[in-house]
Structure 1
Amino acid sequence: MVEFITLLNNSKAPFVVNMFPLIFNGENHWDPEFAFIDNNSNITIHDDNGLVYKNVFEFIYDSFLHAIKKAGGGPNVELTVGQIGWPTDGYPGATSANAERFFKYLLPFVKSNKGTPLRPGISIEVYIHTLVDENLHKIKLGAFRRHWGVYNNNGQPKYKIDFSGQGRDMYPTSAKGVVLMPKRWCVFNGNTTNQTLVQQMFDLACQEADCTSLSPGGSCHHLNYVQNVSYAFNRFYQNKAQYNNKVFLCEFGGLGKVVPDDPSVGTCKFPIEILTAEIADTKGMINMAGHRLSGYWTVLLLSLLLIIGIYM
């Protein structure tokens, strides 16, 4: 590490750190309010030099500055926050309302050049993580890792955020031209005669689709048994673009059925997939409402739409 810091110091390159206040705060079992930068927490940290910290952002930032200095880093080594964000699902406290509150105070703080207790008056460079959710992200370290996006997968913002740092009460630009699949959902028919089969079908659905909202602290963790299975079935169904083939989709060993009414429950939303590309049925062989472009291509398409919307 000392050699690395020396290299940064000589080249005047920044030290880049990723910072996720909610997760850091939760892992240390601190007061949830300490994760926000509006300083309403009952926690106050005093260091050996008499510096006082009332929020986790300044505490983490200055901890890295202190470590860099001890490793030989001089004033040439600036600290850049390469990723900072607030997940909106899959973790206790991960909600759109909390994400909105976090950025409402963080971005004006950064823009103000107020600095931190250790380095008052400095400019802090931060990069928001991330534009849209990543439904294929690995979740070994937590279900929340798929829910960092400012935007939903349909290109609509989840919460108000002023990227300029002026603290304006506003939603960012929505994506234009996004079309959803037809309003239909695949749900569990409630037949619990064969519990083993139900579990197998649930596992099958969640292997292929994103069920992280069912995780503890997630927006759908409060569902009952039938609703829980229904959520998984629908995620799979939408993930496969509502392909109307009972062998492939909403059949689930005779446990699934398609319904026209939205089965969403409270904070748990049963989504409808995006119609991203139509496939021509030239030979009358295919019965598909559309074909979902997967993974990074979907993210790329939404990103382009959002960029166009922001600068128009």
Structure 2
Amino acid sequence: MKKRKSVVANVLVILMSILWLFPVYIVFVNSFKNRAELYENMLAWPKSFSFEYYEKAMKKMKFFHAFGNSLFVTIISILIIVVLASMTAWMLVRANNLLSKIIFSTFVATMLIPFQTLMMPLMQEMGWIRDNLHIQMLDNRLGLVYMYIGFGASMAVFLYHGFVKSIPVSLEEAATIDGCTKFGVFWKIVFPMLKPTTMTVIILDVIWIWNDYLLPSLVLSSKANRTIPLSTFSFFGQFTIQWNMAMAGLTLTIIPVVIFYLCAQKYIIKGVAAGAVK
């Protein structure tokens, strides 16, 4: 009986996996087809696997330029989020007073606010800063980084906060007795122990920032600043859509983040579990 249940469970897992990966299959096989093949049968394999449409897609997207923009925005945003969120969470845990609890609750509460309710006020505020303070927040990669830091801080602080609770205070006290400064205690003792949560934050934020379309579409208007998700929009015209090149462009877009995820996935469950139980 147990063996039969195990077989049924495995079959269900395989079927769900196939269903989940079906859109990926559609994107991949149609990226090699010409328009006639694509409209004839979307599910069939292409007659030949030629990288012609990938070359055309890369040229039209200005792939390497867009790739550099995405890389710049993603790396700078994540570095700052990791540094500031880890330090914030550590101070909130160690302070352990009413004010620190209110601040932490505020961070958690902001995770529940949908971005769609904020995007218009956000753009108005960034426009006001540009017009009155003469700081270019719109159509600027650093302005986009600034916004990602704000939107990514809440989840990062939440994850770090749970893990910091598991670190014994005695380690920090021993380091202080040995002459270590507050800055040294954090970077030499606390931060290295936060590695599982740091990897979790990095992985989740890489997937989010790299694939995000909505916020960059609101902030970046010039072609020179476009990220990879924005550059794929060049295949969608007003009257016609180049589906085969769009599929090739989408495949090129997801390959870097899939490779990154496969290399770092072992840290996800460890980091989330460590931060959730405490």
TM-score, normalised to structure 1's length?
A: 0.26
Higher relative contact order (CA 8 A, sep 6+): 2
TM-score by length of 2: 0.29
Higher relative helix content: 2
Higher strand share goes to which structure? Answer: 1
